[in-house]
Amino acid sequence: MVVSRVDPGRGWTLEQARDLVRQGYSVEHVAERTGFPEQMLKVAEED
């Protein structure tokens, strides 16, 4: 089994980054701030 994990090294977890999107921040802003790819954050928009 291969498990891949994205850790941009900026102190944010993916869940924290997605929470920012849910709070109304733009995906672009959160991606820039946290280092996570926009595509990973867009899942939060769809929730």
Residue 23 is predicted with a pLDDT of 96
The pTM is what? 0.73
pLDDT for 7 beyond 90: no
Distance between CA atoms of 10 and 24, rounded to whole angstroms? 21
| Helix (H/G/I), strand (E/B), else coil: 12 | coil
Residue 10 is predicted with a pLDDT of 79
Q: What is the pLDDT of residues 9-34, one digit of tens each?
A: 778 999 999 999 999 999 999 999 99
Token pair of 17, please? 């980054």
Q: Print burial letters for 6-38: b (CB count within 10 Å at least 16), e (below 16).
A: eeeeeebebeebbebbeeebebeebbeebebee
Q: Which residue has the higher pLDDT, 25 or 1?
A: 25
Residue 5 is predicted with a pLDDT of 64
Residue 4 is predicted with a pLDDT of 58
